[in-house]
Amino acid sequence: MSSNIKVVTRHGNSLKDKLYLPAIYDGVKVTFKHLFDNVTDMNAIDTLEYPEEQPTDITSRYRGLHRLTHRADDTIACVACFMCATACPSNCIFIEAVDREDGVDEKMPKSFFIDTLECVFCGYCVEACPCDAIRMDTGIFSLTGNSREDFVMGKEQLLSHKGAFGEEVSCART
Amino acid sequence: MSEMIEIIVDDKTYRAEEGSLLIDLLIREEIKVPYFCYHESLGADGNCRMCMVEIAGQKRPQIACDTLVKSGMEVNSKSTKIEKVHTDILELELINHPVDCPTCDQAGECSLQDLYMDYGLHDAKVTIVDKVKHDKKVDLGSNVMLDQERCVLCARCTRFTDKITHTHELGIIGRGDEAKVSTMPGRKLDNPYAMNVVDLCPVGALTSKDFRFHQRVWFLQSAESICHGCAKGCNIYIDHNKMKYQDDVIYRFRPRRNDAVNGFYICDEGRLSYKELETNRLESMLYDGVVVDEHEAIAQYKSLLTQYQGRVSVVIDANLYSEEIEAIVAYAERIGAKVFAPLECYNDPSFADDMLKSAQRAANYGAIVKMGLETNMPSDAGLIINFNHPTHFNAEAEIHFSTHKQESNALLLPMAAFSENSGSLINEVGLEQWCEKAVEKNSPAPTVLSWLEKVEG
């Protein structure tokens, strides 16, 4: 065990560190550099005028609003195994399972709700899913509604969300 | 009884009966040994080959389930060689096993899953496409569903119908890859203990149609209780769960091993009797068919009691816990009422058999007999205070403490069912057993004891 421990010397004990003033000078230098840049070129300011301006840097790894994926034959990929609900740290996934009658699989969710107000967008559900049935690649980062119920996403709504990064169909079960 | 001898397992000495099965000793002493096909009530079959151990003097590893204990035997259950044997046999079992744990109800209580984590952890050498395909959804009858792909051919289910129920409905047909569990053409699994095969099945091949897809097993909490179907007193687990924002609900009853009472099994009727605890429950206090609040109900109770002073009879259901019955008897004494516990209505000879079913269909039958309560019907009563007794009595007025709804104009007071309370029961042969409280409802009905406190307070 001890072979894995790396002893790191504590910083901040030099005279320069103890004086504080050099560090304060470094900070103030950055502040004044930005002030100078922003005053000389107003268009280069690093803030977005949201919502008129939308972010352009959302990548495929961004954890946006959830969606339920489809299989290649356009049926629901979810088999209601409850892995996401089990992994969920805020217990905000509510599933009711039912016998699947369309011959594709044995089991499917009768209802599938995610309470996005309780959700912490940790992505554990996506990690846990054995069927690649739940994803957070919609790129949707803003959610508005008039009542608490508006934020509880049902199965149909989750299925209607589209993936924003090309991978539309569930990648499980080749 | 045969002689006790000493044998050595993993360098430790144990005492065992000569000629008993080695696997029994290993299970009893909690020495880790993997197995599918062996079951204490069904005996050795030796078909799964998982329980291999090394025995000194024997060339090859031997199966513990079919090895008889001999004096001076030296057994080795842990070695790299034995681990390798376990891993290889498990891999053989898993060759054609479908990877459908997400849809399988057994997931979470599956021997294959557990043993894979202990001995397997290998990558599959056969792709999903190449696995042998069988029927995945066969309705065997008696609430049992069969998935032939998941079966490991341990033959526990077929041995159960052969050795325990003697009904011989199930068999393994075909050979090699074609081998599968099936019933005779045109026949169904049909016996009053059929659903025990679901518990016996070590994998997800046999699942209960009643429990299927209702809940994943790892969410369930188990409470130790006693079946209330008859006076046998079969030990059960009550598996229940309270999902977020919902009420505490019972999902299934499972048999709990007790060699003195029921062994490993319970009857299907007892197993499915949990449904009665969930449906048609009396939830509010009613008087003359109208909902009343607790204050009004108790006022009404007291005025009825004063009105019929001296002509009050108390009737006790033989399913109540002994502690409750004692409290009711003491209460009746205080208010000067006569106590009756009519037993006639519980007698149902058509229900009885020579296995686990008793003709006395009340869980605490033994306590009523032991306490020597009056078991005739109450006669000439002005007021009857009925503690959940199923019979309808003729009286001028009636107060009914009841778990379930009923057509009555009497004062109806909801009370907790056995799953919502703890207490002891005495079965038909006089064995006293304890029931744990299982369910905590969001708005619990008062227990008998709290009702007595309320009406006397």
Closest CA to B269 of B320, B193, B214: B193
Number of separate domains in chain B:
3
> Are B11 and B56 in the same domain?
yes
Given a cut of 80, is residue B457 above it in pLDDT? no
Q: Is B239 helix (H, G, I), strand (E, B) or coil?
A: strand
Q: Which amino acid is at B397?
A: A
> Are B451 and B309 in the same domain?
yes
Residue B377 covered by a domain: yes
Tens digits of residue pLDDT in A18-54? 999 999 999 999 999 999 998 998 887 878 888 898 8
> Are B158 and B65 in the same domain?
no
Residue B361 covered by a domain: yes
- The average pLDDT across B227-248 equals 93
* pLDDT tens series, chain A, 174 aa: 567 888 888 888 889 889 999 999 999 999 999 999 989 988 878 788 888 988 888 998 999 999 999 999 899 999 999 999 999 999 999 999 999 988 888 899 999 999 999 999 999 999 999 999 999 999 999 999 999 999 999 999 999 999 988 888 888 864
Residue B76 covered by a domain: yes
B349 touching chain A per CB within 8 A: no
| Chosen domain end from B93, B114, B135 | B93
Give the pLDDT confidence score for residue A1 in this predicted structure: 53
Tens digits of residue pLDDT in B193-208? 999 999 999 999 999 9
| Chosen domain end from B59, B93, B127 | B93
> Are B176 and B299 in the same domain?
no
> Are B105 and B34 in the same domain?
no
> Are B142 and B49 in the same domain?
no
> Are B81 and B101 in the same domain?
no
Q: Give the whole-angstrom CA distance, residue B297 versus residue B367.
A: 30
CATH code assigned at B305: 3.40.50.740
Q: Which candidate from A97, A98, A106 shows the least CB-CB separation from B136?
A: A106
> Are B319 and B389 in the same domain?
yes
> Are B46 and B101 in the same domain?
no
Determine whether the interchain pair A81/B101 forms a contact, defined as Cβ–Cβ distance below 8 Å.
yes
Residue B258 covered by a domain: no
CATH code assigned at B161: 3.30.70.20
Task: Mark B181-215 as b/e (b = at least 16 C-beta within 10 Å).
Answer: bbbeeeeebebbbbbbbbbbbbbbbbbbbbbbbeb
Residue B267 covered by a domain: no
Query: What is the nearest CA distance from A59 to chain B, expressed in angstroms?
Result: 30
For chain A, domains (ranges, CATH) are 67-160 (3.30.70.3270)
> Are B81 and B100 in the same domain?
no
Residue B239 covered by a domain: no
Query: What is the nearest CA distance from A125 to chain B, expressed in angstroms?
Result: 14
Quote the domain boundaries for residue B173. 95-208
> Are B78 and B124 in the same domain?
no
CB B273 within 8 A of CB B363: no
B178 touching chain A per CB within 8 A: no
Residue B231 covered by a domain: no
Q: Give the whole-angstrom CA distance, residue B143 versus residue B209.
A: 5
Determine whether the interchain pair A82/B214 forms a contact, defined as Cβ–Cβ distance below 8 Å.
no
> Are B367 and B403 in the same domain?
yes
Residue B429 covered by a domain: yes
| Chosen domain end from B93, B109, B125 | B93
